[in-house]
C-alpha cells in the first residue's frame, strides 16, 4: 500500500509509541493528523515529522476521554483533513500497581476512560466515514496484558482485554466492507509508560526495565506500519510482539 499523502490519524501522538508511529508514517510521505493532551510535546513531534518527509501535519489538542470534544474535533476538521485513511488508536495509560481490593477508584476510572471509552469514542466518530468512502484501516493498541493478567494490574489488564475483544468485534461488524481492523499487542516497551504508572517516580519506573532488554517504541511503530502496508485484501487481525527477554506478561528473563 502506497501511503503517500494518505491521512493517518494517531491519538496519543506526543510521545512513546504514538510519536514513533507518527515518524514512521512521516517517512512514508503520509499526511499526519496528530492528537494528544500535551500540546508542546505534540508540536515537537509535528516538526520532526515534517523534517522526515510528512506531506503535511495537522495537530489537535484532544483528550480522548471527553466524548463531546472527540466528536466536535472530528466534525470540525478542515475539509482537506476529514477523509481519514488510517486510524491508530494509541492513546492509553496505566495508573498504579495495586491489589484490586485496595486499588484507587480514580486510577481505575482514568484507565477505563482512556483505554476503553476513549478508544470507543474515537472509533465511533471516525469509522462511519471510512465505511461511506469504502476504504480505511483501524489499528488498535492492545497489550500482552490483555491476554494474561499479572498481579496488581487487574484493571489495566482488563482494559486491554477489552481492547482485544472490541477490536475483534469491530472487525466482524465491518465484514462486507473494505475497512480493515488490526490489534497490535506489544509486551514491555521502554517509554514513559512506567513513569506515568508511578506518577513520575523515576527510580521506581527504572526498576521495571532492570536486567531486561525491552522493545523500543520504534519496534512497535514498525509493526503497525507493516500491518497497514499489506495489500488491500489482506487484514492482519492481531500482532503480538515482545522482546526475546519476555515470554508473556508474567515471564521475563532478567540479566544479573
Q: Of 31, 19, 38, 30, nearest to 216 (Cα)? A: 19
- When divided into structural domains, the chain yields a total of 1
pLDDT digits (tens, 9 = 90+) for 37-69: 999 999 999 999 999 999 999 999 999 999 999
Q: Give the separation between CA 197 and CA 16, rounded to whole angstroms.
A: 14
Q: Of 12, 4, 8, 7, nearest to 141 (Cα)? A: 12
pLDDT digits (tens, 9 = 90+) for 68-80: 999 999 999 999 9
- Predicted confidence (pLDDT) at residue 128 exceeds the cutoff of 90: yes
pLDDT digits (tens, 9 = 90+) for 92-112: 999 999 999 999 999 999 999
Q: What was the pLDDT predicted at 211?
A: 96
Q: What's the whole-number mean pLDDT along residues 209-216?
A: 96
Q: What angle do CA 122, 184, 214 make, to 5 degrees?
A: 125
Q: Give the separation between CA 137 and CA 110, rounded to whole angstroms.
A: 27
pLDDT digits (tens, 9 = 90+) for 225-243: 999 999 999 999 999 999 9
- Predicted confidence (pLDDT) at residue 81 exceeds the cutoff of 90: yes
pLDDT digits (tens, 9 = 90+) for 9-33: 999 999 999 999 999 999 999 999 9
Q: Give the separation between CA 97 and CA 53, rounded to whole angstroms.
A: 40
- Predicted confidence (pLDDT) at residue 1 exceeds the cutoff of 90: no
Side by side, the strands of the sheet bearing 137-141 are 56-61, 31-36, 7-11, 86-89, 137-141, 180-186, 238-241
Please report whether residue 34 resides in a domain. Answer: yes
> Active-site residue numbers?
156
Q: What is the CATH number for 30?
A: 3.40.50.720
**C-alpha grid cell for residue 69?**
470534544
Please report whether residue 249 resides in a domain. Answer: no
The residue with cell 483528550 is: 63
- Name the residue range of residue 97's domain: 7-241
Global confidence as pTM:
0.96
**C-alpha grid cell for residue 187?**
509486551
Please report whether residue 133 resides in a domain. Answer: yes
Q: What was the pLDDT predicted at 116?
A: 98
pLDDT digits (tens, 9 = 90+) for 153-211: 999 999 999 999 999 999 999 999 999 999 999 999 999 999 999 999 999 999 999 99
Q: Give the separation between CA 46 and CA 52, rounded to whole angstroms.
A: 10
Q: What's the whole-number mean pLDDT along residues 121-144?
A: 98
Phi-psi group of 69: left, alpha or beta (phi > 0 → left; psi -120 to 50 → alpha; rest → beta): alpha
- Indicate the DSSP class of residue 19: H
Q: What was the pLDDT predicted at 46?
A: 98
Distance separating the N- and C-terminal Cα atoms of the chain: 44
Please report whether residue 1 resides in a domain. Answer: no
Q: What was the pLDDT predicted at 178?
A: 98
Q: Of 160, 163, 156, nearest to 107 (Cα)? A: 156
Please report whether residue 248 resides in a domain. Answer: no
Q: What was the pLDDT predicted at 45?
A: 98
Amino acid at each position: 500500500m502506497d501511503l503517500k499523502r494518505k491521512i493517518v490519524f494517531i491519538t496519543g501522538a506526543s510521545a512513546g509509541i504514538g510519536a514513533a508511529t507518527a515518524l514512521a508514517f512521516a517517512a512514508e510521505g503520509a499526511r499526519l493528523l496528530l492528537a494528544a493532551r500535551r500540546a508542546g510535546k505534540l508540536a515537537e513531534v509535528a516538526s520532526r515529522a515534517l523534517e522526515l518527509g510528512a506531506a503535511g501535519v495537522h495537530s489537535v489538542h484532544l483528550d480522548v476521554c471527553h466524548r463531546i470534544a472527540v466528536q466536535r474535533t472530528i466534525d470540525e476538521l478542515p475539509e482537506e483533513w476529514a477523509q481519514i485513511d488510517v486510524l491508530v488508536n494509541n492513546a492509553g495509560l496505566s495508573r498504579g500497581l495495586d491489589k484490586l481490593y485496595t486499588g484507587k477508584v480514580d486510577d481505575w476510572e482514568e484507565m477505563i476512560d482512556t483505554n476503553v471509552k476513549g478508544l470507543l469514542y474515537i472509533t465511533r466518530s471516525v469509522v462511519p466515514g471510512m465505511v461511506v468512502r469504502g476504504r480505511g484501516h483501524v489499528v488498535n493498541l492492545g497489550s500482552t496484558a490483555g491476554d494474561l493478567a499479572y498481579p496488581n494490574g487487574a484493571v489495566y489488564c482488563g482494559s486491554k482485554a477489552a481492547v482485544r475483544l472490541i477490536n475483534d468485534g469491530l472487525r466482524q461488524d465491518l465484514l462486507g466492507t473494505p475497512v480493515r481492523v488490526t490489534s497490535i499487542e506489544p509486551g514491555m516497551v521502554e517509554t514513559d509508560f512506567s513513569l506515568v504508572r508511578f506518577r513520575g517516580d523515576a527510580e521506581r519506573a527504572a526498576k521495571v526495565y532492570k536486567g531486561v532488554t525491552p522493545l523500543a517504541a520504534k519496534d512497535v511503530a514498525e509493526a503497525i506500519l507493516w500491518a497497514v502496508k499489506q495489500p488491500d485484501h489482506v487484514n492482519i487481525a492481531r500482532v503480538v510482539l515482545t522482546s526475546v527477554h519476555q515470554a508473556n506478561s508474567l515471564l521475563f528473563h532478567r540479566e544479573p
